[in-house]
Structure 1
Amino acid sequence: MGFFELPLSNGWTFKDRDDHDPDAWMSVPAVPSTVQQDLIANKRLEDPYIGFNELKAQWVNEKSWIYRTDLKRPDVPTGAKVVIVFDGLDTFASVTLNGQNILTSSNMFIGHRVDVTKLLLESDGPHVLEIEFDCAQLKAQELRSKYPGHRWEGFNGDMARLAVRKAQYHWGWDWGPVIMAAGIWRDVRLEAYSVRVAGLWPQTQLEHNRKTATITATAEIDAVVSGYYTVSFCLCLRGKQIACQSLLVEVNSSKSIEAKLQINNPELWWPHGYGSQPLYDMSVSISGGPGNELHKMSKRIGIRSAEVIQQPDKHGKSFFFRINGQDIFCGGSCWIPADSLLPSIRQDRYKSWIDLMVKGGQTMVRVWGGGIYEDKAFYETCDEMGLLVWQDFMFACGNYPVWPELLESIQREVTYNICRLRHHPSIVIYVGNNEDYQVQEQAYMTYNYEDKDPQSWLKTNFPARYIYEKLLPDAVAELSPSTFYHPGSPWGDGKLTSDPTVGDMHQWNADGHERRLATYLVENLRTATDLETYIHLTQVVQAETMMFGYRGWRRQWGNDRQCGGALLWQINDCWPTISWAIVDYFQRPKPAYYTVKRVMESLAVGVRREHHDWSVVHARPPTKSKYEIWVASSRREGINATVELRFLSVMNGDNLRPPIVYDVTVTPNGTTDIVSDGVIDHIAQHQPHVLAVRLWVNGRVVSRDADWPQPLKYLDFSDRGLVVKVQNGNIPGQQRLAISVLRPVKCLVFEERDNIKLSDSALDIMPGDEQVVTVSGLSGSDLPLKYRFLGQ
């Protein structure tokens, strides 16, 4: 026989380990699953995402659980091997087959293969497979108590979490609940074979002229029956064979086989917005003769080069990405797991999340280190859509211990996951941790950058340095040598993590929660009198803040690569909540999503007047102020364009001065400063006015921006003369909303509905400048979308 697999997704039951009632067993709808999902299905638990049900679900966190299923004897020929494959067990799992222990696991990030040939084939069965999940919360606390000498420092959750290789956000975070999931969280299956392809590693080398690429494909062969086999390597693009190589080899149990395939004029993989994303199919098959293919494995790869450029410059030391020789401004966002109950994230949900990021103009996503090494659907979709991936290892906000058994588990974890992920062209950097060096700084733990002896690090009160500067870089160098490794985020050559001149940094000094929101609101906007208005105003503040930040960071990209990118915290939520996310748990964008999207367009015009502190001058308008205008571009060629500046009265929409028009040539992949020292003085008796700019290319407006007099609470937004005309589009279910105003409108936000997509929202609308928003997914019976704007 060749290769056969049988999913073990149905027929499971489970119970509380300590409940000895024979009727305690409950049905499991399907695995992968979690205890919480299965309890909800059996009406033993209320949905923890509703109200304060999270608190009612805490008892689940303190229990141990058993899952059970019966296996039939597989019908396989003599000489075949039978294994059970566990892609993910969460977390402390003891597995028995017919009462005999076959696996003990303590790391949810590792997959396992267990040879059960003898146990399954010795009788017809039934064969009882049981998995006992010990309580991770109690186990972690036990481990912590065993090592009182370690400094259990960190942010968020029970610091006992640092002792356990489990998704750290399960212990609760400042945006997430305490839901200690347990269970078979990834696929489990039976495999039977006489020979199989155990692994495939395609390494891509693109020559500097990008005219030639070499694929070095390494296949691992696992043979139960020794003999001669034909191993065939094949590279295809869109179903067309590009290169192929076959080898006749003798395999005695396991063997590593390598082939080199050369490609002339390869089609290069690019981040979206810079080019296309062609994916080659790299396959290896093993056969016992002509027409007798026994097993095959394929991986989709992209041909590209990826570099992180760190060079001395006038700002300090650069830190930016270069793909295929092209400098890339990596504007994007950080990703947390899209659910606290991980198996509920299906492939289509991953696709729609990544589609939101791509359509939002984002070039990079950061897989945050307190979550998981994501599902293959996540990375495959990033490959397909051209979204670059910054991949953290799973360490976050803490001083991790390093006893030998834990280090061994971490070594197996990173080996398993690097080998699983290394072929994806979207992954361009591996990073050691999230904010663990900040923990070291804030807790005043020992860190001597000049000490280069890894063994000495283990003896300090910050032993986790050994993980980030020895274990992980060594693993990346061995297993994925072409991928850049960075010790932590933030980190910069041993300097303070807040140093803006080197490496990356986290701009996270906006703490204060509701107090911070209330302060921003009272200083900038009129006080809300109802909950709906309060929600709207907080989202307006977030939208303005994100826009302002991204506009400035992107402008700095063009100034000698002073800023290499910005990854906002955060794109998503793991449950329905109030948080920093710019898209909610149900995939409904907030206004900030759209303001960031517009700033991240390939051409984006910006205007900004100097800050005027009203709190000091007691609401007196300035007699004059400076302003500046620029255009940011990610285009790979120069563009001839026109920029128009208008001075519009907030009160009546009149032009207080004649518009100023600038003919410009936009610098490719950089910033073009158009006005750096403009001055507004004595303008119509100090009428509050908007500086409104439009960027025209080939007679079409491609970008807009506006600078409003601040704070907005002093402006009168009544009687705006807003008109929204609904027009049916050419596509069924699509509408066009033509928007016009008589007086300037600030932050026009349309209602978000499930399964309804908007081309834009959170708009500033100016007189004489109609804008059109496309709405997709509406049916004829749907009511028109509601909307509101600032001061409505």
Structure 2
Amino acid sequence: MRRLDLSGVWQLSQLGSEESIPAQVPGDNYSALLEAGKIPDPYWGDNELAVQWVGQTDWVYSRRFTIDEDILAETSVFLSCEGLDTIADIYINGQHVGSTDNMFRRYRFEVKEYCRLGDNEIQIVIHSPVKTAVERSGKLPYEIPHSQFPIQAPHVNLVRKTACHGGWDWGPCLMVSGIYGHIYIGATSLGRIEYVYTAQSHGDGMCKVEVTAEVISPEGGETELQVTLGDIHQRKPVVLNPGMNIVSTELTVVNPQLWWPNGSGSQHLYDLTVAIAGDEVRKRLGLRKLEVVTEEDDIGLSFKIRVNGVDIFCKGANWIPADALPQRQTRERLDELLSSAAAAHMNMLRVWGGGQYESDDFYELCDEKGIMIWHDFMFSCALYPATKEFLANVREEVIHQVKRLRDHACIALWCGNNECLGALNWFEVSRRNRDRYLVDYDRLYEGTIGRAVDEADPTRLYWPSSPCGGRGDYSDNWHEDSRGDMHYWTVWHENASFDAYFDVVPRFCSEFGYQSFPSLETIASFAPPDQFNPTAPFMEHHQRHPGGNSRIVEMMTRYFRVPEGFENFIFLSQVQQGLAMKTGVEYWRHLQPICMGTLYWQLNDVWPVCSWSSLEYSGRWKLLHYLAKRFYAPVIVTAFQNKEDELEIWVVNDQHREQTVTVTLQIWDFAGQIRKEEQYTGAAAAGGAVLLAKRPLADLAPKPHEVFAFLELTGDGVYHYNDHFFTEYKKCHLPDVSIKAAVKEVDGGYQVEVASDMPAFFVSLEARGIRGEFDDNCFTLLPGKPRTLVFTAKDAVSLEQFQNSLKLYHLRATYR
């Protein structure tokens, strides 16, 4: 098949205007306008408000291209468009070729009759998504409600585009338009491949792989199916009929190298090439048997992931688009974020339903890094239409995306939506007439999406909503911890203390979170120094959750003494966020196999903002991410105070083999003296948790405000440490601390040795202005026990530059 790539530099203009600017394709209109100096940076200050007109305007993308005789000689000449956002009319040489109405579909239009030899022009008129959504709302027979956010474009639930483009409680309202995927002219007479997908059947020492190709042939004819999988080659004669053809063959891999999630084994990928009728598709295939096990038990309904016969505790976070401006969502950007997730021992991310189906780069990188994907379809926090036209549009979207993505080893399951089942009870209009909206819900998520998934990918589980109790269960699962997955937001939304995490035993917690402020470096990217205050206008503009800053401050006063200065406030907000997630994750991990997954909200940000993320917009690690690297470690020691006034000491082992460990418990006072030391030895089963000890608090900490516990675990190739305070930090009388830091250059980075004369808590180093990470951070530093850290920079930096950039924070330094 012949291809004429249309990516590159196009021209962008407002509809009806003769003025145009260069625009990159793939790319978006906001990025083009920003590069041309036509709009201010929408991320700075409150500039977002000044650029709302862009989403309210119709735009024209245009370019010229040359077609040669070889292309026009073919029977079929077609235009292929992916990621066309969203409501568009396409013209070639002034003639209307087709229309699009869904940025998540792939459109292919026959265009031979509109093309001519030599010079041609293509124009894509993209209509305002803001105006389209409002127009559609006015034509509804009854209201289709959606969530409300501080700054938003209304009724985005009526348009099949990325929902968070219209604003969210962590993101800006930038209703971008553009062309984000592949766009090209294709030509063939014999055939073109529409999709290639595989099905695996695993047996003893072997894996059978059925390879299927969907081929459209304009004329029909004889050809050959050629398949290469690793070092296995197969050829098969095929006779194509005019129209759609489905051809398949089966290959057997003996003693396959299996694909495993991050932390459970290697991620071997086999090269797969499928060629037929002059067209070719290349993929990388991970061979694995992945099951989502949902079984009724004496508690309720289990929910766990089993890979290659091994139950895996899922550790990770929720993923949102990497940037509010699609043009910036590069492979390099995705790689950096996903590498950070893998470095924190994450083995799963949830692609959230208010975002987008990601680029091929994203899934390829997840395959390589062993990051499983819980994949929502793109519906979130709203109700949706159930008209024939809307459902037909959605069906095409789902069929395309599932066939496109199903061969990625990383995809664990398909999920119908984010919180749309619960949303039936959010709105007054749907509460008054739940039956009407429940019928619409069922038509969309079961009658359309569920059936489409069953058809397009029978190899995977379809889970109708997150959270929910499975197919056929239409109850509100919002606060149900015994069935399926749950979202637990009592700590943030209801302002409960962190120990509220001890009140639930989720089977799988797919959302929970707590906010913090980003670093001062990130804040400086959107605000000048005179705005460095939590309630300054620019700071509040970059906090999209109503009352979010107040909640952070109020919770801080429960646990800590009020910090002095803005930098200390930022630091303590990140400590607090990390503690919230650490409390929930460590407690729920010790409940396995009852609880088999924790995905906190959220991994990343779309712009610089105060949010629930553990990675800032720049990719910089918040303190939460450093803590996640520890609380998601394969083997951990943790401690909880139970209701019988005892300290329980647990070891959690995610490895596939039993671990015999020794845990040393030390009770320190704040003057740096060890009051008590005990040692425990035990065996933690593979994929399990063991209680090593129960100790009365009266024995360990008769005066809770005078001491703290420090725990160290050693085993076969594993080490972990943790600490435990017996009361709120603000009640403890911490002495002044002197911390010394010595820096030297080492292979691959810079080494920092820190030593303290007194116990110091949440000791955190920052290399301000330098991209990179420390190998550990936000830790307890004990006298006589210096710590050596290594910083790995992502860009070239001198020793002097690193030394000058170094900042050090700890709890006692936040107040006088």
SS in 2 for 1:38: helix
Find the counterpart in structure 2 of residue 588 from structure 1.
620
2: CA distance, partners of 1:149 / 1:311: 39
Q: Which amino acid aligns with 2:10?
A: W
Matched, 1:546 2:569: no
Does the C-alpha gap of structure 1 residues 726 and 252 become closer, same or farther in structure 2, counting only changes over 3 Å?
same
1:568, 1:148 → 2: CA distance? 38
Matched, 1:116 2:111: yes
Kindly state the Cα deviation for residue 441 of structure 1 after the two structures are TM-superposed: 2.2
Give the equivalent residue in structure 1 for 2:448: 471
Residue number in structure 1 paired with 2:127: 134
> Alignment partner for residue 288 of structure 2, among 299, 304, 321?
304
Q: 1:538 aligns to what SS in structure 2? A: helix
The question of 1:343 aligning with 2:327 is answered yes
Query: What is the correspondence of 1:632-647 to structure 2 with a 5 Å cutoff?
Result: 632-647=652-667
Change in Cα spacing, 1:641 to 1:496, as seen in structure 2 (3 Å) is same
1:682-693 equivalence runs, <5 A: 688-693=706-711
CA distance in 1, matches of 2:283, 2:760: 51
The answer to whether the 8 A contact 1:457-1:465 is kept is no
Q: C-alpha offsets along residues 737-766 of structure 1, whole Å, 9 cap, x if unaligned?
A: 233333221111111544322111111223
Q: Which residue of 2 aligns with 1:218?
A: 212
Distance 2:557 2:193 in 1: 62
Distance 1:155 1:464, change over 3 A: farther
Contact 2:319–2:604 under 8 Å retained in 1? yes
Identical-pair percentage: 28
Structure 2 matches for 1:634-783, cutoff 5 A?
634-650=654-670, 652-657=671-676, 659-681=677-699, 688-698=706-716, 702-729=719-746, 731-732=747-748, 734-752=749-767, 753-777=769-793, 778-783=797-802
Letter in 1 for 2:13: K
Partners of 1:682 and 1:696 lie apart in 2 by 22
Inter-CA distance 185–203: structure 2 relative to 1 (3 Å threshold) = closer
SS in 1 for 2:474: coil
Partner of 1:528: 563
CA contact (8 A) 1:204 1:303 kept: no
Change (3 A) 1:154 1:148: farther
What is the rounded CA distance, in whole Å, between the counterparts of 1:200 and 1:521 in structure 2? 53
Equivalent position of 1:62 in the other structure:
56
- After TM superposition, the structure 1 stretch with the greater mean CA deviation from structure 2, 112-121 or 57-66, is 112-121
Kept after mapping to 2: 8 A contact 1:388/1:428: yes
Indicate how the Cα distance of structure 1 residues 266 and 643 shifts in structure 2: closer, same or farther if over 3 A, else same.
same
Structure 1 CA distance for aligned equivalents of residues 259 and 435 of structure 2 = 41
Q: Aligned-pair distance for 1:153?
A: 4.1
Give the superposition deviation at 1:443.
3.1
TM-score, structure 2 as length reference: 0.88
Residues 157 and 382 in structure 2, CA contact (< 8 A), matched pair in contact too: yes
| Conserved? CA contact 2:377–2:417, under 8 Å | yes
SS in 2 for 1:45: coil
CA contact (8 A) 2:556 2:562 kept: yes
Distance 1:724 1:683 in 2: 32
Please give the residue correspondences for 1:229-308 in structure 2 after superposition, counting only pairs within 5 Å. Answer: 229-236=223-230, 241-286=231-276, 294-308=278-292
1:605-644 alignment to 2 at 5 Å? 605-610=637-642, 625-644=645-664
Contact 1:338 1:574 (8 Å CA) reproduced = yes
In the alignment, what sits opposite 2:399? 415
CA distance in structure 1 between the aligned counterparts of 2:785 and 2:696, rounded to whole angstroms: 23
**For 1:261-314, what per-residue CA distance to the aligned partner results, in whole angstroms no more than 9, with x for missing partners?**
112221111001111111112222236xxxxxx332122111111111122334
Q: Measured at CA, do residues 748 and 140 of structure 1 come closer, stay the same or move farther in structure 2, by a change above 3 Å? A: same
Instruction: Tell me how far apart the structure 1 counterparts of residues 466 and 561 of structure 2 sit (CA, whole Å).
Output: 38
Q: Using the TM superposition, give the Cα deviation of residue 467 of structure 1 relative to its aligned residue in structure 2, in angstroms.
A: 1.2
Specify which of 456, 480, 494 is matched with residue 474 of structure 2. Answer: 494
Give the Cα separation in 2 of the matches to 1:440 and 1:210: 47
For structure 2, the residue ranges without an aligned partner over 5 or more in a row are: 494-546
Aligned counterparts of 1:254 and 1:609: Cα–Cα separation in 2: 64
Structure 1 residue 185: Cα displacement: 2.4
**8 Å CA contact 1:79, 1:224 repeated in 2:** no
**Are 2:201 and 2:208, in contact at CA under 8 Å, matched by a contact in 1?**
yes
What is the aligned counterpart of 1:441 among 425, 443, 453?
425
Contact 2:737 2:812 in 1 (8 A): no
Supply the distance in 1 between the matched residues of 2:380 and 2:123 (Cα, whole angstroms).
32
1:152 maps to 2:145? yes
> Are the aligned partners of 2:705 and 2:726 in contact in 1 as well (CA < 8 Å)?
no
Q: Could you tell me how far apart the structure 2 residues matched to 1:632 and 1:361 are?
A: 14
Q: Secondary structure at the match of 1:410?
A: helix
The letter of the residue matching 2:720 is S
Match of 2:306? Answer: 322
Q: Paired residue for 2:68?
A: 74
* Secondary structure in 2 matching 1:518: helix
The CA distance in 1 between the partners of 2:812 and 2:141, in whole Å, is 57
The CA distance in 2 between the partners of 1:255 and 1:443, in whole Å, is 47
CA RMSD, 1 decimal: 2.3
> Alpha-carbon deviation of 1:447?
9.7
Tell me, what secondary structure is at the counterpart of 1:150?
coil
Shift of 1:250: 4.6
Q: Distance in 2 between matches of 1:190 and 1:739?
A: 60
Instruction: Tell me by how many angstroms 1:80 deviates.
Output: 4.9
Q: Indicate the larger mover: 370-379 or 524-533.
A: 524-533
Deviations 1:383-415 (A, max 9, x none): 011000000000000111111211111111111
CA distance in 2, matches of 1:460, 1:684: 57
Q: Label 1:462 to 1:722 Cα distance change in 2 as closer, same or farther (>3 A).
A: farther
The amino acid that maps onto 1:468 is Y
Pick the aligned partner of 1:33 from 27, 39, 42.
27
Report what 1:786 is aligned to.
Answer: 807
Name the SS for the 2:602 alignment partner: coil
CA distance in 2, matches of 1:408, 1:688: 66
The letter of the residue matching 1:112 is Y
1:168 and 2:163 are equivalent in the alignment: yes
- What is the CA deviation profile of residues 15-50 of structure 1, one whole-angstrom value per residue up to 9, with x for unaligned ones? 11143xx3x22222x211211111112211001011
How far, CA to CA, are the matches of 1:468 and 1:205 in structure 2? 27
Name the amino acid aligned to 2:474. Answer: G
- 1:382–1:447 CA distance, 2 compared to 1 (3 A): farther
Cα distance, 1:255 vs structure 2: 2.2
Q: Distance in 2 between matches of 1:385 and 1:626?
A: 40
Instruction: Provide the secondary structure at the position in 2 that maps to 1:162.
Output: helix
Whether the 8 Å contact between 1:307 and 1:321 is mirrored in structure 2 is yes
Decide which moves more: 409-418 or 154-163. Answer: 154-163
Residue 172 of structure 2: SS of its match in structure 1? strand
1:43 aligns with 2:20: no
Change (3 A) 1:183 1:446: closer
Q: Of the candidates 348, 352, 358, which is equivalent to residue 374 of structure 1?
A: 358
Farther off after superposition, 198-207 or 48-57: 198-207
Q: Distance in 2 between matches of 1:687 and 1:32?
A: 58
Q: CA shift at 1:119, angstroms? A: 2.0
| Corresponding residue pairs, total | 746
Residue segments in structure 1 that go unaligned for 5+ positions in a row: 288-293, 449-455, 612-623
Change (3 A) 1:51 1:542: same
Deviates more, 1:479-488 or 1:81-90: 81-90
Task: Spell out the pairing of 1:358-369 with structure 2 (5 A cutoff).
Answer: 358-369=342-353
Instruction: State the TM-score, normalizing by the size of structure 1.
Output: 0.90
What is the one-letter code of the residue matched to 1:704? Y
* Alignment CA distance shift 1:308-1:684 (3 Å): closer
Shift, 1:227, TM fit: 2.6
Q: Which amino acid is 1:319 matched to?
A: F
Q: Distance in 2 between matches of 1:221 and 1:412?
A: 17
Distance of 2:776 and 2:708 partners within structure 1 = 21
